[in-house]
Amino acid sequence: MSVNASTRHSILYKIANNGHVPFEGLQGQKPSQFGINTFNDRIMRERLPKDTYKKLQDTIRRGDKLDMSIANTVAHAMKEWAIGKGVTHFTHWFQPQTGLTAEKHDAFLEVDNGEMIERFKGDQLVQGEPDASSFPSGGARTTFEARGYTMWDPSSPAFIVEGPKGGILCIPSVFISYTGEALDKKTPLLRSMDAISRSALKVLQLFGNTAATRVITTIGTEQEYFLIDKAFYHMRPDLQVTGRTLLGAAPPKDQQLDDHYFGSIKERVLAFMQDAENELYKLGVPAKTRHNEVAPHQFEIAPIFAEANVGADRNQIIMEVLKKVANRHGLALLLHEKPFARINGSGKHNNWSISDSEGNNLLDPGKTPEQNLQFLIFLVATLRAVHQYGGLLRMSIASAGNDHRLGANEAPPAIISVFLGKRLSTILDDIKEGRKTKKVEDYIIDLGISKLPSILQDNTDRNRTSPFAFTGEKFEFRAIGSSASVSLSNTILSGAVADSLDIMTADLEKTMDEGHSIEEAALKILQKYIKETEPIRFEGNNYSEEWEKEAEKRGLPNIRKTGRALDFFIDQENMDMLMRQGIFRESEIFSRYNTKLEQYITALEIEAQTFCDMVKTKIMPAAFAYQKQLLDVIRGMNDMQGMLEAGASQTQQRILKAIVDQISALTDSCDKVEDVLHKGEAMDDLGAKAKLFADELAGLLDEARDPADQLEGIIADDLWPLPKYSEMLFVL
């Protein structure tokens, strides 16, 4: 009867004795390993004819169209390089709307005159045709028109994934339909990068900067995750199926002591991190920072930033490599936004900036007043983007998992606001009021028309509670979920900033046509948009209740549940902006909207079913077993009545009563959960069903666990069938 519990205890025993990784002496990082499994610039220069190399570089660096005449040469060089490294297969590596990456392996084999040879042709490099019918499309395609193409994205380097019996050459690609519709997450991201480049160049030109030929979006993603022993993971159907614990009592000690944050890293974890980083280095991912996070067994890894599409690819690679290497170390890596209730969840901080092709960061205040004015235009355009399209940004981070984290104690609420820091805020306020900024020696320069700030770079004040913070040279969008692809958020953000830049540029040009200098015009325009965007700026504590009230007064949306937040996607003004910027076609928006609805609904359905299943097949039997033990004790005591005082078994009866009460509460909550599931079954309208789940099912699932968690605190430990929080979060 207590097979499960004894299994649990034997696992604990095993981890305690074997969990450590044998220390093999200092091995150190070999810097020469960096990028050895990527078809990078150095390899291209070595292996490609000069003119081919140059043409490919023009495509990569300047965003020129790929010259198809070089495809065969590049493919051949890539194949030779890969085969030399033990590669047998290639795949186009792309990002369908699942949020994961997809691959379909093909061998280099071909039959030539009846003989098998290894060949990789230009058209195979450039284009692939996986069967697209089984990828989510949100109704964009029916099965009979399921043709989808993958196309090589030369701006992200091809890489080799080492397999146990041979490597796989992965070719980063976009995924589009027969009619040119984007089926993936990368195509819109690339389009948004084009949009911002186009719009930002116009601003640069107005400021007399003619050297730049392109503006580049850069991102750096800080990734949080949990690690637990794999044995625990496999004993928890909820973790395996849904990524989070659907029940589990809080441990007596959790994170109250803040003793995990930046603490020294356990050797078993360090060994994992070092192995994972080695793998990432080989793949050209510059993992730079690692540390313990706030919650027990929670960690973070951050690479050096890169161009947005490369950075997004790398974040996918990071998530995959972390999972794979953890598995090798007998660990399970949890990417869910809230694996453990009442314990901090995990997010992904998305650092975002733009720089010109000359290498100048456009969100860097700069040294001269002119540079500062230009900086302020980009800064205020970003404010305008967040103010105008905060709903879209909220939508871009919406998922069933992230709903548990936003607005809890560890993450910003669903209200999107911007933190700028004191100095920048003062400067904006002064411009708004037409006030001459007070003389603070080193950051004021008299331009003659107004006092203009020379903004120092070290923006040192920080506000960890803000969802969108200026952190000097970049904005940090902190509300993305830990398991999410960063593509959509960056697509929306860049698109919205591009749109704001267009609108501000038109204003600037008009004002200059009226006879004003660029400086005068810029100040006027800044004044207008600083005023307009004031409601989005917030420097206080985003976690506080006062802020929720204040935000409501300011008219900022606070949509807590994905089932409702997704509607921002199909809001007409939002769609108009996305289409105006050439980022999505209308049909692409609806297909994504529907896909997201489906994903949300399915996630909740699976959670609800898993929960009820676990209650019925694991929790109830344990509760009945303990109930029986107690009954035996009580009966036995009653039999001894002559010897014991009357009512001697009162304590036992009280415990029994508590169990009976919790069992019936748990049965009720499962019934309620199942009722909503049934109601949902009859609904065809995805939008309505998502709203029903958002309004009823999500909350029910949060409450339903309570009786189960109470039972965990009553039932004998050796009857409890599931690893407990106190084990999963403290035993490694």
Binding region for Mg ion (CB under 5 A): 349
Among 153, 222, 224, 277, binds ligand ADP (CB under 6 A): 222
Among 92, 297, 314, 474, binds ligand ADP (CB under 6 A): 474
- The three-class DSSP label of residue 129 is coil
Radius of gyration of the chain (CA): 29
Among 116, 117, 211, 304, binds ligand ADP (CB under 6 A): 304
Considering the complex, what minimum distance in angstroms separates the CB of residue 505 from ligand ADP? 22
Considering the complex, what minimum distance in angstroms separates the CB of residue 319 from Mg ion? 18
| β-strands 159-161, 127-128 pairing | unpaired
Distance of CA 564 to the CA centre of its chain: 20
* Contact between 590 and 222 (Cβ < 8 Å): no
Question: Given the complex with ligand ADP, which of 88 and 344 has the nearer CB atom?
Answer: 344
CB-nearest residue to ligand ADP: 220
Binding mask 476-515 for ligand ADP (x = CB under 6 A): x---------------------------------------
Instruction: Determine if 314 is a binding residue for ligand ADP (CB under 6 A).
Output: no
Q: Using CB distances below 5 to 8 A depending on partner kind, what does residue 417 bind out of Mg ion, ligand ADP, none?
A: none
CA distance 416 to 536: 8
Q: Using CB distances below 5 to 8 A depending on partner kind, what does residue 219 bind out of ligand ADP, Mg ion, none?
A: ligand ADP
* Torsion on CA atoms 663, 665, 667, 671, rounded to nearest 10: 180
Question: Given the complex with ligand ADP, which of 194 and 476 has the nearer CB atom?
Answer: 476
Question: Given the complex with ligand ADP, which of 7 and 361 has the nearer CB atom?
Answer: 361
CA distance 35 to 314: 12
CA distance 556 to 391: 9
Distance of CA 567 to the CA centre of its chain: 20
Segment lying near ligand ADP (by CB under 6 A), choices 121-129, 299-307, 498-506, 634-642: 299-307
Considering the complex, what minimum distance in angstroms separates the CB of residue 352 from ligand ADP? 6
Encode 352-367: b = buried (16+ Cβ within 10 Å), e = exposed.
Answer: bbbbbbeebbbbbbbe
Segment lying near ligand ADP (by CB under 6 A), choices 15-23, 40-48, 466-474, 582-590: 466-474
Considering the complex, what minimum distance in angstroms separates the CB of residue 371 from ligand ADP? 16
Question: Given the complex with ligand ADP, which of 88 and 490 has the nearer CB atom?
Answer: 490
Distance of CA 609 to the CA centre of its chain: 26
Token pair recorded at residue 581: 């910027």
Among 35, 128, 220, 248, binds ligand ADP (CB under 6 A): 220
CB-nearest residue to Mg ion: 349
- The single-letter DSSP state of residue 335 is -
Long-range Cβ contact pairs of 102-111 (< 8 A, separation 24 or more):
102/130, 102/135, 102/175, 103/168, 103/170, 104/128, 104/130, 105/168, 108/79, 108/83
Question: Given the complex with Mg ion, which of 191 and 349 has the nearer CB atom?
Answer: 349
Instruction: Determine if 426 is a binding residue for ligand ADP (CB under 6 A).
Output: no
Of 433, 432, 437, 449, the residue nearest 529 (C-alpha)? 432
Question: Given the complex with Mg ion, which of 85 and 288 has the nearer CB atom?
Answer: 288
Among 41, 473, 539, 550, binds ligand ADP (CB under 6 A): 473
Of 694, 591, 474, 710, the residue nearest 181 (C-alpha)? 591
Question: Given the complex with Mg ion, which of 197 and 489 has the nearer CB atom?
Answer: 489
Considering the complex, what minimum distance in angstroms separates the CB of residue 417 from Mg ion? 17
Question: Given the complex with Mg ion, which of 349 and 585 has the nearer CB atom?
Answer: 349
CA distance 37 to 84: 11
Q: Using CB distances below 5 to 8 A depending on partner kind, what does residue 541 bind out of Mg ion, ligand ADP, none?
A: none
CA distance 615 to 622: 10
- The single-letter DSSP state of residue 437 is P
Question: Given the complex with Mg ion, which of 349 and 404 has the nearer CB atom?
Answer: 349
- Inter-CA distances, 202 with 485, 509, 633, Å: 30, 10, 83
Considering the complex, what minimum distance in angstroms separates the CB of residue 308 from ligand ADP? 9
Q: Using CB distances below 5 to 8 A depending on partner kind, what does residue 289 bind out of ligand ADP, Mg ion, none?
A: ligand ADP
Footprint of ligand ADP on residues 332-361 (CB under 6 A)?
A: 351-353, 361
Segment lying near ligand ADP (by CB under 6 A), choices 296-304, 322-330, 542-550, 557-565: 296-304
Q: What residues does 353 pair with on adjacent strands?
A: 218
| β-strands 167-177, 87-93 pairing | parallel
Considering the complex, what minimum distance in angstroms separates the CB of residue 393 from Mg ion? 18
Residue count at the site for ligand ADP (CB under 6 A)? 17
- The three-class DSSP label of residue 49 is coil
Q: What is the widest separation between alpha-carbon atoms in the chain?
A: 108
CA distance 155 to 186: 12
Residue 467, amino acid? P
Segment lying near ligand ADP (by CB under 6 A), choices 216-224, 447-455, 490-498, 689-697: 216-224
Question: Given the complex with Mg ion, which of 347 and 707 has the nearer CB atom?
Answer: 347
Q: Using CB distances below 5 to 8 A depending on partner kind, what does residue 218 bind out of Mg ion, ligand ADP, none?
A: ligand ADP
Question: Given the complex with Mg ion, which of 148 and 347 has the nearer CB atom?
Answer: 347
Instruction: Determine if 128 is a binding residue for ligand ADP (CB under 6 A).
Output: no
Q: Using CB distances below 5 to 8 A depending on partner kind, what does residue 473 bind out of ligand ADP, Mg ion, none?
A: ligand ADP
Question: Given the complex with Mg ion, which of 244 and 349 has the nearer CB atom?
Answer: 349
Instruction: Determine if 192 is a binding residue for ligand ADP (CB under 6 A).
Output: no
- Inter-CA distances, 230 with 15, 103, 323, 721, Å: 10, 26, 11, 16
Question: Given the complex with ligand ADP, which of 34 and 340 has the nearer CB atom?
Answer: 34
Token pair recorded at residue 335: 């990417």
CA distance 647 to 531: 75
Question: Given the complex with ligand ADP, which of 289 and 457 has the nearer CB atom?
Answer: 289
CB neighbours of 662 closer than 8 A, spacing ≥ 6?
623, 707, 708, 710, 711, 714
Q: Using CB distances below 5 to 8 A depending on partner kind, what does residue 302 bind out of Mg ion, ligand ADP, none?
A: ligand ADP
Say what angle helices 369-396 and 572-580 make with each other, to 10 degrees.
Answer: 130
Segment lying near ligand ADP (by CB under 6 A), choices 218-226, 392-400, 525-533, 645-653: 218-226
Q: Using CB distances below 5 to 8 A depending on partner kind, what does residue 305 bind out of ligand ADP, Mg ion, none?
A: ligand ADP
Considering the complex, what minimum distance in angstroms separates the CB of residue 476 from Mg ion? 5
Helices (H), 516-649: 518-532, 545-553, 562-565, 572-580, 586-614, 620-639
Q: Using CB distances below 5 to 8 A depending on partner kind, what does residue 691 bind out of Mg ion, ligand ADP, none?
A: none
Of 354, 360, 330, 339, the residue nearest 297 (C-alpha)? 339
Compute how many other C-beta atoms are within 10 angstroms of the C-beta atom of residue 169: 27
Q: Which residues of the shown chain bind ligand ADP in the complex (CB under 6 A)?
A: 218-220, 222, 289, 302-305, 351-353, 361, 471, 473-474, 476
